[in-house]
Amino acid sequence: MTNVAVIGAQWGDEGKGKVVDWLASRADVVVRFQGGHNAGHTLVVGNQTYKLSLLPSGLVRGKLCIIGNGVVVDPDALLAEIARVRAQGLTVTPETLRVADNATLILPLHPALDNAREVARGDRKIGTTGRGIGPAYEDKVARRAIRIADLAEPETLSAKLDELLLHYNTLLQGLGVAPFVKETLLQGLLALAPQILPFAEPVWERLDELRRGGKRILFEGAQAVMLDVDHGTYPFVTSSNTVAATAASGSGVGPAAVGFVLGIAKAYTTRVGSGPFPTELHDATGQLLGDRGREFGTVTGRRRRCGWFDAALVRQAVKVAGVQGIALTKLDILDGLPELKICTGYRIDGAFCRHLPASPGAQAAAVPEYETVEGWSGSSRGARSWADLPAQAVKYVRRIEELVEAPVTLLSTSPERDDTIMVRDPFEG
C-alpha cells in the first residue's frame, strides 16, 4: 500500500473534491498542504452538498484531517467554515481536525492590500479572489508572518504586529486605503486564540507516527498545476506551489512519503479569472459546456470560462508534477455533442509548440492546433464500468491517455460519489 497525492492538472475546479471524498474512504488521514480559502471543493453526498475551502474533504468521511504548514489560514474563515459544516451534521473537533502550529495566518490587512492592488491594476488585474492569499505568502517568505503558534504568545504577537503595520500601512496609504490600528488587530487575534489553539500542533510529528504505523495518507492539493507560482501561466497564477512535490514541504513529510500522484482533469477545460486560455470557446458550445457543467466557482461564484480539452496543457502538468495517473471528470457533460476537439499543441508565430511557453507574450499568442474526434449519442452519465459507456466515449478517453502520456486511472461520470469507474486503485501504487 502507498500514500496518494491528489492535484489539479489544469487550472483548478476539476472536481478534486469528489475524487478526494471518494478516495478518502480508503484513507486513514487526509492532509491539505497548500493554498488558502481561495480554493473551494464541492461535495455532493445524497441530498446534501458540502462546500469546503480550508477544511480537508476527508471530514465528510469522518477521517482525521490535517491542515499543513503550507496552507495560509484565515482564522475567521476557518471558524466560520467549521460552524457551517457542523450545522450540516459533520463532527469537527480537535480529535478530527489538526492544524499545523507553524502555518501562516491571514489577517484583515491582507485582503485589504490584495483588493487595493487589484483596483490599482485596472484593466491589467490578475483576477485574484481578494482574500489576501498572495500578501500572506509574501509575508511568509519575507519572514514577517504571524503564525498560529504566535497566538499563544501575546508579547510575540504585539512585536510582530509592529513590524507588519510598518510595512502594510505605508503601502495601504499609498493606495488610498485607511491604515489599520494595532490595538484592534491585537485584541482580535487574542480573542481568536482560544478558539484556534486547541486544533494546533506540530503536525509533522503526527504524520511521521501515522506513516510509521502503516496508515494511508491522502494529500489534498488546492488550485492546479497551471496555477503554480513557478510552473503556471505567470503572473496569472496563485501564490504557492501547487505541484505534488509541495505535499512533502507543505505538511512536513519526506518526499518518499508522498506516494502515487493522481492528477485531476476535466474532459474539457475551464478557467476562472484572467490569464491565457488557448482553447477557450466564445460560442454556443462554450455556453453549453458552462450551463451543463454548472461552471461557477465554489469560492468566487464567478462563471468559469470553458473550452475544449487541452492535451498539451495536461501533458505539461503530467511532466512537471510527476503525475502517474489521471482522474478524468465530467465526461457526461460531453454527451450528445456530434464532434469534439482536443488540442495537441499550439502555433506561435507560425511555429508549432507542444507546450505552453513561459513568456506571457507567447502564451497570449498561442493558437491551438486541434484534432477532431467523433462524439457519442448515448449517455455516459452515472456509468460505473467501461461496459456502461458509449463506445465513442471510451475512444475519447483512450485518445486522451495517448496525448497526455498518462493512464486514466479513475473516471467520474456525475457529481455523485459512487458514479466512478476505478481502473486502478491509486493506493495500490
From 363, 257, 352, select the one nearest 2 (Cα to Cα). 257
Q: Is 37 annotated in the active site?
A: no
Q: What pTM does this model have?
A: 0.93
- How far apart CA 134 and CA 306 sit, in angstroms, is 25
Which pLDDT score, from 0 to 100, does residue 299 have? 58
Q: How far apart are CA 119 and CA 113, in angstroms?
A: 10
Q: Which domains does the chain have, with CATH numbers?
A: 4-99+201-260 (3.40.440.10), 104-196 (1.10.300.10), 265-428 (3.90.170.10)
Active-site option among 37, 41, 110, 231: 41
**Cα atoms in the Cβ-side hemisphere of radius 13 Å centred on 404:** 34
CA-to-CA separations, 372 to 124, 309, 343, 385, in angstroms, rounded: 34, 11, 9, 25
pLDDT in tens, the chain (429 residues): 699 999 999 998 898 878 888 898 889 999 999 999 976 777 777 788 888 889 998 888 889 999 999 999 999 999 999 999 999 999 999 999 999 999 999 999 999 988 888 888 887 887 788 899 999 999 999 999 999 999 999 999 999 999 999 999 999 999 999 999 999 999 999 999 999 999 999 999 999 999 999 999 999 998 899 999 999 999 999 999 999 999 999 999 999 999 999 999 999 999 988 899 999 999 999 999 999 998 876 555 668 899 999 999 999 999 999 999 999 999 999 999 999 999 999 999 999 999 999 999 999 999 999 999 999 999 999 999 999 999 999 999 999 999 999 999 999 999 887 899 999 999 987
348 CA to centre of own chain: 29
Active site residue 167: no
User: CA distances (Å), 176 to each of 116, 119, 120, 126, in order?
Assistant: 8, 11, 10, 20
* H or E stretch covering 394: helix 391-404
Residues 8, 10, 12, 13, CA torsion sign = negative
Residues 240-284 pLDDT 10s: 999 999 999 999 999 999 999 999 999 999 998 889 999 999 999
Question: Which long-range contacts (C-beta less than 8 Å, at least 24 apart) are formed by 343-352?
Answer: 343/278, 343/279, 343/308, 343/309, 343/310, 343/311, 343/312, 343/313, 343/368, 343/369, 343/370, 344/311, 344/312, 344/369, 344/370, 344/371, 344/403, 345/312, 345/369, 346/278, 346/312
For 180-202, write each residue's pLDDT tens digit: 999 999 999 999 999 999 999 99
